Amino acid sequence: MKQVLRQGIKEIIVDEVPAPELVSHHVVIQPHYSLISSGTESASIHSEGAIKTVAEHPEHLAKIWKAFNEHGPVKTVAELRAKFKEYGVLGYAGAGIVIEKHPTVKDLEIGDRVAYGGEGTGHAEAILAARNYVARMPDSLPFRSACFATLGSIALNAVRTAEVEIGDVVVVEGLGLVGQLVSQFVRLQGGVVVGTDFSDDRLQMARRLGADHVAKADSSAAHVVGALTNGRGADCVIIAAASKSAAPAQQALNLVRDRGRIVILGVVDVSFPWEQMYLKEIRVLMSRAYGAGCYDAAYEKQGRDYPIAHVRWTANRNMEEFLRVAASGDLQIQPLISHEFALEDAPKAYETVMNPGERPLAVVLRYPHAAAENPGDRQVSKLVRKVETPHNTRGSSNTRASDLNVALVGAGNLARWAHLPALKKITGVNLKAIYSKSGARGKNYALRFGAAFCTTEYDEILNDPSIHMIVIVSRNAEHCPQALAALRAGKHVFVEKPMAITEAECRLLVQEATKSGRQITVGFNRRFAPFYTEFKKHFARRSGPAVINCRVNSPGISGAYWMADPSIGGALVGEGCHFVDLMYWLLESEPISVSAYSLPKGKQDPVGENNIVASFVFEDGSIANLNYSTIGKMSVGGERLEAFAPGITVMTENFKRLEIGAETTTARSSWFPKKGYLAQMQDFVDAIRRGEAPAVTAKDGARATLGCLKISESASTGRPCAIDLGSIFPESES
């Protein structure tokens, strides 16, 4: 399918990418029209160039410095170069027909005419949209008008936030697309509209669409509002302008009456003079997106609606109401459309949006099926979820019969920083495919790393007989089902930690690995990191049981970040498994029990389940303590491991420092961390070629997951828990 993409920081292209994969609580829509949001979308297009962009967004420098310290100069420079070719998805508003729906969606049918929204939906010939961001259209409403539902619900939510009553004098600052819609909704709510802007054309448009009064956004506005209200000021000011200065906020404060309301809708500097705010006792309200439910993952991704008895106007209900009002004719949409372009002409559409001389209001994109407005004339195109990558640097012409063909599953940050660069460095390994739920991201990774094709359908990889090995770097809950399917398809599997998130999943994978005869390894890269391997070499000289203390600081795994969710293992199973495995590997002794405590549970952030202190007992009498926290300061070191045995003390920190105390004390340090990703990938490739088990096996993956599950159980019960691998492995193997 064709999709509009930003390539690098400013170039707009239309490229062929795989159609999106259908997921739970979502539908796939074939658009007829989509709307370019000139404010939001133009903000992500940096036509002024990289230097000015960084100057205006100094936070980017902090990100670069962080990457430099974590990954070193070579990888950081490679990533910076890639940014100038990387694909970004634009757009979040459109209308079309439903062509696929997941069984979890019960109240929509194939062929329904709908409007859709949601960040990242994009401008494409097939759109994956969450159920709660899809609203059924009235039959009388054309797609060309319905594609405004997203921006219309944003405007409607702002008017609801403003609590406009009949007779209220409401100033709308900024008469761009959203400001024009806000003005119309205020009028329909019974308010007296005063529209302000610097553009005469936009003032005239607002007047034609029903604004009671208009004024230039200067001293003229104060005269108009003063005359209209006998000097008392406006009841409410809605700021729909975008500005890097505090001028719109200051003007709003000047125009509003004592104890009036200011609603912030646009992206503006909200610096207000304290004394003036205090003397007027102003209420400042923020209007957030489409309505209740926005930014709530349960609402957006999992389809959990808010009961109407408790929340009358959710994002979805605001979208539905916009469509109803638009169909009634009380809201004028068509006059707002200044330009229309065919999908393939999207670069011209964005040139128009970005041209300061044009200043268009609404620019819409027309799709091939736009002519099929009648319910009986709905054509559905076949969705293609596999796209060959042209001009790949390691394609079939360079492939030898002895090469190991690899597919990568999950095009995330770890894949691009670690696994894909590692695969490119290993002789005789050929990257054949990239699987990602996002067609744009998959295509981007395929082009960058030289894959032969990209796909949004996992079966394309499983059914390809030329693919020998699959590297799984998807989200934690997907690791087990994807690894099981790969083993059953006869593929070798490199699965990132955790191998599984439940004991039952561990058992299934162990059984399938044995049955399939294929190799499976788990991404425990610390076993291959230079300082940890040297740590183990010295520690192996111990003559008795040891004491280990492992402290981990992971403040990034908190809040709404998916890895913090305890229902899918949280940070403990998702990352804590690294350290359970590490302690076992260093001691070469099985953990037999654990006692653990956590922070109070049942709180959203910080998540108590992710902050634990756990003490392990090992078969050889050694003991170890794991202190895992997500509430620390980001600038403090991430991990520190100390081990003590008779006559030996060893310490390592952040992959950058190693200190060994024995007969003498020595210390070594590195400017940049060496984390062992390449060494582990090479070990697995070599094991496959030799037909031998890799250094890290399914048993290691199961032990680490089980250890973390027992930590959680102990923290919940307040009692020590035994760790028994016999529940997963036959007695002879455990």
Q: What's the whole-number average pLDDT of the chain?
A: 91
- Same domain? For 242 and 326 the reply is no
617 pLDDT above the threshold of 60: yes
Task: Identify whether 71 is part of a domain.
Answer: no
Q: Which residue has the higher pLDDT, 733 or 90?
A: 90
Indicate which CATH number applies to the domain containing 443.
Answer: 3.40.50.720
**By mean pLDDT, which of 39-53, 102-116, 185-199 is the weakest?**
39-53
Indicate which CATH number applies to the domain containing 577.
Answer: 3.30.360.10
Task: Identify whether 390 is part of a domain.
Answer: yes
Place of tokens 């709905």: 378
Q: Report pLDDT for 731.
A: 55
Q: 142-195: per-residue pLDDT in tens?
A: 999 999 999 999 999 999 999 999 999 999 999 999 999 999 999 999 999 999
* Amino acid making up residue 402: S
- Same domain? For 716 and 701 the reply is yes
Of 470, 496, 520, which residue sits at a domain end? 520
| C-beta neighbour count of 382 within 10 angstroms | 6
- Same domain? For 562 and 702 the reply is yes
* Torsion region of 90: left, alpha or beta (phi above 0 gives left; psi -120 to 50 gives alpha): beta
Task: Identify whether 50 is part of a domain.
Answer: no
Q: What sign does the CA torsion over 341, 345, 348, 350 have?
A: positive
* Amino acid making up residue 443: K
Backbone angles phi, psi at 399, to 5 degrees: -90, 130
Q: Report pLDDT for 396.
A: 46
- Same domain? For 605 and 484 the reply is no
pTM of the model: 0.89
Task: Identify whether 55 is part of a domain.
Answer: no
Q: Report pLDDT for 395.
A: 45
Mean pLDDT of the region 36-44: 72
- Same domain? For 339 and 457 the reply is no
Task: Identify whether 172 is part of a domain.
Answer: yes
Mean pLDDT of the region 453-461: 97
- For the chain, what is the domain count? 4
- Same domain? For 482 and 346 the reply is no
Whether residue 294 contacts residue 315, with contact meaning beta carbons closer than 8 Å, is answered with yes
Q: What sign does the CA torsion over 603, 607, 609, 614 have?
A: negative
- Same domain? For 514 and 530 the reply is no
Q: 211-231: per-residue pLDDT in tens?
A: 999 999 999 999 999 999 999
Of 286, 320, 350, which residue sits at a domain end? 286
Q: 652-692: per-residue pLDDT in tens?
A: 999 999 999 877 788 999 988 999 999 999 999 999 999 99
Mean pLDDT of the region 396-402: 61
- Same domain? For 565 and 706 the reply is yes
Task: Identify whether 59 is part of a domain.
Answer: no
Q: Report pLDDT for 640.
A: 96
Task: Identify whether 543 is part of a domain.
Answer: yes
**59-to-54, 62, 63, 66, 280 alpha-carbon distances in Å:** 8, 5, 7, 11, 35
Structural domain of 22:
2-45+90-148+295-366
Of 264, 286, 308, which residue sits at a domain end? 286
- Same domain? For 560 and 705 the reply is yes
- Same domain? For 299 and 257 the reply is no
Mean pLDDT of the region 602-622: 90
Whether residue 428 contacts residue 453, with contact meaning beta carbons closer than 8 Å, is answered with no
410 pLDDT above the threshold of 70: yes
- Same domain? For 331 and 405 the reply is no
- Same domain? For 282 and 309 the reply is no
State the alpha helices, DSSP H only, in 540-631. 570-574, 577-587
Whether residue 518 contacts residue 529, with contact meaning beta carbons closer than 8 Å, is answered with no
734 pLDDT above the threshold of 70: no
394 pLDDT above the threshold of 60: no
Spell 189-204 as b/e; 16+ CB within 10 A means b: bebbbbbbbebeebbe
Mean pLDDT of the region 553-573: 87
Task: Identify whether 167 is part of a domain.
Answer: yes
Q: Report pLDDT for 103.
A: 97
